[in-house]
Each structure stands twice: as C-alpha cells, then as structure tokens.
Structure 1
Amino acid sequence: MNYKLLKQLYKIHSKSGFEGEIITFICKWTSKNVPNSKLDLDWNTGNIYITKGKSETYPCIVAHLDQVQEHHPTDFIAIETRDLIFGYSHKERKFCGLGADDKNGIWLALKCLQRFDEIKVAFFVSEEVGCIGSSKAKMDFFEDCRFVIQPDRRGSNDLVTSISGLSLCSDEFIKDIQPQMFGYKETYGLMTDIEQLKEQGLNVSCVNLSCGYYEPHTDNEYTDKKDLLNCLRFIEHIISNCKKTYRHKAEYDERAYLNFAYSSWDIYDELFEIIREALLADPTLTPSDIYAFYGTDYPFTMDDFAMVYEDAMNEILYEKQEDWQ
C-alpha cells in the first residue's frame, strides 16, 4: 500500500476554523484523480459533497476536515516506518501531531472514492469544536444513501453503534456487515458528525469505526498502518456486500444510555491515562489546555477535567517520590 496521499494530508495543518488549505487540496485532488465525480463545495460552510456514478442508492462515507493541534512546524514531516507513521520536526527536535483524527478518515474516503463506481462522500468542517459543519449539512444529499460510515475513532476494533444513548443503526445492518471478520466489536461512542446527522433526521444506519490512530490530539499521535489498512478492508467489504438501504430512525435506547452512564468510570480511566501521558511529555500543560484538546471527545465538564488532571498529576508526583527514595 502506498501512503503518499495520507502523508500529503498529514502535511496540511487544518485546525478548526482554518480548513481552507485542505479544502483546496481535496477539491484539486478529486478533480485530477476522480474526474468523473460531481463535487459540490458549500461556500457558506466549507463542507464538501462528492457523488460518483449514477445509482438509485449509494454507500456513503463522511469524515471531518479539522484537527485539534494548534501548532504545525514549517519543517513538519510525516515519517513512515515499517509499522507506523508519526510526525516530527527536525528544527524543533520533537514529535508533532499528525491530525490523523480525522485525516485517516479523509484518506479512507478518498481511497474508496477512487475504487468504487457509485459512492457518495462528505467532508465537514469544525467537528472538533462542536460539529459545526455537520450541523449545517445539506441533508438532501443523504436521501438516497443506503448507510453512512464515519471512520473517526481511535484504536483498531471499535464499532460505535450508539452515542450517549442515541442508537445509530439497525440490528440488521450490524449483522450484515459481519464486524467479527475484521476484529471489530460493538461499543458506545462520543460526539461526532454522524450523531449530529442522526439528530437532524438522517434515517439510515450509521456507524463510526476505529481507523488506526492513537494518542489523538497530542504531539505523540501516530498511525498504525496495519490497523488503518484493516479499516479500509472492512469498509470495502461493507460497500461491496451491503446493497440494500438500511433504514433506521434515531431514538434513545434506554439500555444503551444506561450502559453509557455506568461506563463513566471506564471513560475516566481512559482519560486519566491520556492526561498522564500528556503531562509526562509536557509538564507545563494546564487543565485548560487539556480541556481544549479533549473537551469534545469526553462527556465531562471543565471541572471534571480539572479533577482528572489533578489525579494524574498527583500520581506522577507520587511516582517521582518513589523513584527518589
């Protein structure tokens, strides 16, 4: 697999509200590499809608254009090893965030746009600061979609089928996509564009998939190529085999909501480890910095983040005391 396109996407810094360069790149790339597609750029929002082929119904992939990282050194380079891709600045002698959340999703969408004859793709601005782009989506674009896939989840095997108790897809869709073949398992998730679309009346099944990025929103972010490729194969499998429309009306599932609520400690543990690693890498980070990085990814308030931050800092100090003794 050639990852040249992915590394080109990583090279573009596209923090929320400043997505112009990546919008231009995607429009030019699509015009050159998928000339038989129809591209609609919404000049009011920056959202991009692409349709390839003529069909009664289409598979659809969505991803967001923005990234959290505020800084991108001028000599940023995406370094590819046998297994991983990570960002680095030789001038600053430090690792740099890739923006793999969600440039991995963009790459997956563009790869499928090249491969399949009939497909729809949408890219939204400013997901990281509250799903601003998808909140202004052209919903008629999705009226002839069979299902919607968003690859916008860290890790390798999460199949997000509910968000904060809001069910995203039908049992029939979950059965037909055969997630176990690719090592994926159902789980709940947090805010992202498909949740926003469902709340605005999207009436087909949606899922959010892990797409191989790790330590998102930090300078230590990296992509595991094997996990990213597995996600691509899973999406290709779904598109190739799921030819009917999987209707689903958004509703709050009491069981899913309770599972989400009772799993708060699991979320706490996950956030604790992320904050701890971030502080070890940069002890100058404040609770406000942490909240700016992760506030849209976790169902916690600023006070909650401050509490987890304090817990993580106390553990780091305790471990240092142990080392001194």
Structure 2
Amino acid sequence: MELLKKLYKVYSPSGKERTMIKFIWNYTKRITGTKVETDAAGNLYITKGEAESYPCIVAHLDQVQRLHSKDFTTVETGEIIFGYSSRNKRQEGLGADDKNGIWIALKCLRKYDSLKLAFFVSEEVGCVGSGKAVMDFFNDCRFVIQPDRRGYQDIVTEIGWTSLCSPKFLQAAGYKKFGYRETHGMMTDVQELKERGLQVSCINLSCGYYEPHTDHEFTIKKDLMSCLSLVEHIIENCTDTYPHQTEILDGRWRSYDEFDEAVDEIFALLDQGELWSIEDLYYMYHSVFPKLDMEDYQRIYTEYYNLNKIEYGKQKL
C-alpha cells in the first residue's frame, strides 16, 4: 500500500493538479517502454509497449476535499485506511475518489507489457479535462475502464441517458465472478468520452472508497484489491476490440433514481452529526448529481431535519 499512501499525501484540488501530474510523470518515466504526453488542458496520456490494440484505464487527477493539513498522514488500521491531522486532531479526506483509480492504473502499468492510461484534470467540477481530451488517443483501444465509483460491487454500464458498453464486452468481462453487479451511475469521464464519440465499450467500477467528497472518506483495502483483480482479469481475458455505439436511453426514471441516491448519500453524511449548510451540500455534491439544482438540495435538507424531528418525538413518547 506504499504507493497508495504516497498518492493520498499529494493534495490535488480541482484546477491545482500540478503536483499530482508531476508525481505521476516521475513515477512513469522509471518504467521501461512508456511514453508520456500531455495536452493543453493538462491531461496526461501514457502508452506502454507497441501493439495493434491496447487495453485502456482512465482516472481523474483532482479531489474535492478542502482540508489537507501540512502534517496530513494516512492511518492504516486492519482493512481500513483514512487520513488524519495530528496537529488539528481531525480526520481529513484522502482524495481516494479518484486516487484509488490512479493507483489501479499505475499498478497495471507496472504489470503489463502493453497498456494505455489517461488521467484527466478537473473531473469533479464537470469533467473539464475529458471534455477537452485528445480523442485520437483512444482509436486503438479495445475498451476503456474507469475505476471511479464508491463501494465494492458496482459495474456501471449506463450514466444518465447514455449507454456505455456492449453485451459482448460485459459477458467477456466475467464481472459476476468478482461479486460485481450491473448498475447505472453518475457523471464521470467515461460518459464524457462516449458523448464525444468514443466507439468502444466503457465501464466505471467501484474501487473501495467510501463517503467520498467528505473529510470522513476512507478506503477498505480488500474492496480496492477486488477491483484491481477484476481490472487485471479484464485486461488478460478481453483480448478483442469491443465496439459500442452510444445509445440515448429513456431517462425518465433515472432522474428519480439520481435524486433517491442523493438522498441516501446526503442523509448518511448528515447522520454523522456535523453541521452542514445547503450551500455546503451543493458544493460537495453538484458534480456527483448534476441533474439536481439548489432547490433539490433544499428539499433533501428539509426532509432530513423534518424526519429527525419526527424520530425525536417518537423517542420522547
């Protein structure tokens, strides 16, 4: 876990990813046979080996958390890793969303002879980097994997109204053997790439981080390792190219699902007992739930406190 801990210590808020870019650049140049390129937006593109087609992993470089003290350190206890400042006596977010994805990508870069990686800036503020990506980089990719989903069992095959991958790719991926289940997800870079014309199958995978976008964020190591194992399985077994044309799906019920998912996540955050304003919630989650506006956050906030008043009243009775 030493590489992972080093990544966690690099503070990379949206728009200020330079330190992370430098870290990855220096790490990558020590790996034989790799070529590193960048673009005007600051995205990184890495190619290892010579091949007719490549597996491809993407991740984003930025994080949401505003707290990152000079004495920030990682604490590893059993299966859990979290961030902590001794001087300030507080837990601080790891930026595991999406440093866990970066870690998986770099582990695979060490292991495989031919691979492509892309690391995007400013995903958390609206997929800015992938919106300016050099799309020709993906012309010889067989598929694109993004490990950028909280939890441990989701394989995202639809985002919003956009389908991401073909049934043939899903069958070849063998994800069920790793305890994963198919679901739909929220805005992230692979959706942006598909909407910009990417012609191969993409997925987004749960990679072991929890309570993202908060200072209580933590990683469960076995869940991260499970994601790495699935990614390695796909690289080793999905040796064909898996074309896929984006389909715009009926999204009427998905809007409700996104609100419902936001309720679950924000309620869990508020249950921790800290005081958050509606503006705080909007700042933390607007990139995760892009369909929701400030009125939706007001509604969730009000529903939470109304519900807790009811529960408090029941306890008194």
**TM-score (normalised: structure 1):** 0.93
Residues 190-226 of structure 1 show CA distances to partners (whole Å, capped at 9, x for unaligned) of 1100010011110000000000111100111111101
Whichever residue aligns with residue 254 of structure 2, its letter is: F
2 CA distance for matches of 1:282 and 1:293? Answer: 17
The letter for the 2-side match of 1:279 is L
- Structure 2: any 5+ residue segments left out of the alignment? none
* Residue 260 (str. 1) matches residue 257 (str. 2): no
User: Which residue is equivalent to 1:38?
Assistant: 35
Distance 2:315 2:87 in 1: 33
Q: Is the 8 A contact 1:276 1:316 kept in 2?
A: no
- More displaced, 175-184 or 308-317? 308-317
Partner of 1:227 in structure 2? 223
Aligned-partner Cα distance in 2 for 1:231–1:183: 10
Other-structure match for 1:13: 11
Within 5 Å, give how 1:179-258 maps onto structure 2. Answer: 179-254=175-250, 257-258=251-252
Deviation at 1:13, TM superposition (A): 1.1
1:152-172 superposed Cα distances (whole Å, 9 cap, x missing partner):
001111010011121101010
Taking only the aligned residue pairs, the percentage that are identical comes to 52
**2:143 is the counterpart of 1:123:** no
The answer to whether 1:308 aligns with 2:311 is no
Say which SS state the counterpart of residue 309 (structure 1) adopts.
helix
The answer on whether the counterparts of 1:75 and 1:91 sit within 8 Å (CA) in structure 2 is yes
Deviation at 1:278, TM superposition (A): 2.6
- Structure 1 SS opposite 2:146: strand
Q: Distance in 2 between matches of 1:260 and 1:185?
A: 18
Q: Distance in 2 between matches of 1:125 and 1:268?
A: 26
Q: CA separation of 1:72/1:323 partners in 2, compared to 1, >3 Å: closer, same or farther?
A: farther
The CA deviation at 1:259 is: 4.9
* Alpha-carbon distance in structure 2 between the residues aligned to 1:38 and 1:99: 26
Equivalent in the alignment of 2:285: 294
Provide the residue aligned with 1:57 in structure 2.
Answer: 53
Partner amino acid, structure 2, of 1:23: I
Once the two structures are superposed, residues 269-313 of structure 1 have per-residue CA deviations (whole angstroms, 9 ceiling, x without a partner) of 432333233334454311111011011111311110111011112
Given that 1:48 and 1:123 are in contact with CA atoms closer than 8 Å, whether structure 2 keeps it comes out as yes
Q: C-alpha separation between the residues in 2 aligned to 1:259 and 1:319?
A: 30
- Is residue 276 from structure 1 mapped to residue 280 from structure 2 by the alignment? no
What is the rounded CA distance, in whole Å, between the counterparts of 2:27 and 2:160 in structure 1? 36
| Counterparts of 2:312 and 2:10, CA distance in 1 | 38
Measure the CA separation in 1 of the matches of 2:217 and 2:135. Answer: 33
Structure 1 alignment gaps of length 5 or more = none
RMSD of aligned alpha carbons:
1.5
Does the 8 Å contact 1:166/1:253 carry over to 2? yes
Is the CA contact 1:170–1:247 (under 8 Å) kept in the aligned structure 2?
yes
Task: Please give the alpha-carbon distance, in whole angstroms, between the structure 2 residues aligned to 1:317 and 1:36.
Answer: 61
